[in-house]
Amino acid sequence: MNTIYILWLRQLKRYLRSRSRIIGSIGQPLLFLVALGFGLGPIFKRAGDGNYIDFLAPGVIAQGILFTAIFTGIELIWDRQFGFLKETLVAPVSRFQIMLGRTIGGATIATIQGVIIFFLTLLVGFRPYSLAMLPIALVIMFLTALFFTALGTAIASTLDDMQGFQLIMNFLVLPLFFLSGSLFPLKGAPALLTLIAKFDPLTYGVDALRSSLANVTQFGLVNDIAILGILTAIILYIGSKLFSKIEI
């Protein structure tokens, strides 16, 4: 447990020292909120679906968590290249504890990012429907962050350098975001798109956040949390197995 805490704290300190990273990571969510929120808001309202900012905000929060969590996991590649990971792996502790500590640390960072974006949504007019649901929304943020940090770690454990970075970005991260229903309602979407969305883990994170923050849901809050919890346990197991095979 001490190892997990130390690695968690190290990840958190690294994030807090990087002010440019914190500021830079809120640029894209803010762009989505302003450009799409106000640009498509009138069209969304005329379609009879209500306030688009209220619909969009949970999706943008999930987007911020996704990008931060995945890239925090992929930082593992940098640590391997510059020798920082070797210093950790030679320590007399299990690799599972090392992987878990890094993953929880990355998930904490991504959750903080989600909270920052949540406050940004308040500035553009979003209002959660119930303050009592905010703790549940925070738990959902962390669970979503934990899944995607573990996914990033699992991917990074199989890569030796950053050559595959663009491949991951273009063929994994962006499809996960755009096909999750973050920007559009799945209700009424083409059947094929809805089917694909059901296989997208981010879909359940978005739907759970939307349920807890805006009282709008496609699959039900309990189902979302259950599916996300099961997927997180699976990817943590896979990630730990791949991480244990890293050669130093």
Q: Dump pLDDT digits (tens) for 14-38.
A: 766 666 666 767 778 888 888 887 7
Containing domain of residue 215, as a range? 2-244
* Alpha-carbon torsion angle 54, 29, 183, 75, nearest 10: -130
Q: What is the pLDDT of residues 168-188, one digit of tens each?
A: 767 888 889 999 988 888 887
| Residue 65 confidence class, pLDDT cut points 50, 70, 90 | very high
pTM of structure: 0.89
- CA dist., res. 213 & res. 120, Å (int): 14
Count up the domains in the chain and report the number.
1
CB atoms within 10 A of CB 226: 14
| Alpha-carbon span 187 to 141, nearest angstrom | 23
Provide the sign of the torsion angle of the four alpha carbons 34, 37, 41, 43, taken in this order.
positive
Question: Which amino acid is located at 10 in the chain?
Answer: R
Encode pLDDT of 66-125 as tens digits.
988 888 877 777 777 766 676 677 666 777 888 888 889 889 989 999 999 999 999 888
Report the range of poorest mean pLDDT among 42-56, 66-80, 167-181, 190-204: 42-56
